[in-house]
Amino acid sequence: DAGVIQSPRHEVTEMGQEVTLRCKPISGHDYLFWYRQTMMRGLELLIYFNNNVPIDDSGMPEDRFSAKMPNASFSTLKIQPSEPRDSAVYFCASSPQARAQYFGPGTRLTVL
Amino acid sequence: SQQGEEDPQALSIQEGENATMNCSYKTSINNLQWYRQNSGRGLVHLILIRSNEREKHSGRLRVTLDTSKKSSSLLITASRAADTASYFCATAPLTGTASKLTFGTGTRLQVTL
């Protein structure tokens, strides 16, 4: 298994632009998580899905952030419009029920 | 504040020595997990210990859990340079979904030759 796949690995964009981050979870995993990691705030859970259904989006910072999971093998996290304070590493992780989470390599986002 | 707080924030040891890092948390848990993160990489799951377990081993790793003190420790024995990384504890809540982990602030471990 290739593990959790994220794309792009790096994204540099200008303030106000739309950013879309993509994730392919490990096949057979029921849960998918989106995290954001910064030096100041550490690792924060943004949203998670169970069987493609959003369960808890209380960590999504504001309406500029949205996430979808149209099927079991794909999820997106969109930021529109992006702001410099959104600069961070965004991780996707998947999990087979309440067990260990498997993280992707992350997307390093820089908003200028 | 973070559910899990690791201590120390940073630790520097020589190869061959043991490394111990601690995690304290605030609310009742279903399980506690430890993860490693190498610089610029995603987190890697190391070990999971359930609330009814007190100690667990995996290779050179030993994890203890004291639910009365709401604390856990991770011991890495005979450390190697390749163990250099940040280590995070993560707690799964007792109520609600046990899949929703809360991560601590991490311990940065440096193992020198």
Tokens found for residue A61: 């910072």
Instruction: Write down the pLDDT at residue B78.
Output: 97
Three-state helix/strand/coil letters over A48-85: EEECCEEEECCCCCCCCEEEEEEECCEEEEEECCCCHH
Q: How far apart are CA A90 and CA B76, in angstroms?
A: 28
pLDDT at site A69: 98
Kindly indicate the confidence band of residue B5, based on its pLDDT and cuts at 50, 70 and 90. Answer: confident
What's at A55, amino acid-wise? I
Selected residue with higher pLDDT from B69 and B93: B69
CB proximity B33 to A under 8 Å: yes
Q: Which residues of chain A have pLDDT under 50?
A: none
The pLDDT value recorded for residue B2 is: 41
What is the mean pLDDT of the segment spanning B49-69?
Answer: 97
pLDDT at B3: 58
Q: Nearest CB to A105: which of B41, B97, B100?
A: B41
The secondary structure of chain B, three-state, reads CCCCEEECCEEEEECCCCEEEEEECCCCEEEEEEEEECCCCCEEEEEEEECCCCEEEECCEEEEEECCCCEEEEEECCCCHHHCEEEEEEEEECCCCCCCCEECCCEEEEEEC
Question: With an 8 Å Cβ cutoff, are B88 and A99 in contact?
Answer: no
In chain B, pLDDT over 70 holds for what percent of residues?
Answer: 96
**B1 has a pLDDT exceeding 80:** no
Residues of A with CB under 8 A from a CB of B: 4, 31, 42-43, 45, 48, 50, 55-56, 91, 93, 95, 97-106
- Cα dihedral across residues B1, A11, A57, B42: positive or negative: negative
The pLDDT tens digits for B73-92 are: 999 999 999 999 999 999 99
Pairwise CB contact (< 8 Å): B45 & A101: yes
pLDDT at residue A97 in the model: 77
- Give Cα separations from A73 to A25, A41, A53, A57, B20 (angstroms): 6, 29, 13, 19, 38
Instruction: Say what the pLDDT of residue B49 is.
Output: 96
Q: Looking at CA atoms only, how far is residue A105 from chain B in angstroms?
A: 5
Q: What is the pLDDT of residue B66?
A: 97
Mean pLDDT (whole number) for B7-36: 94
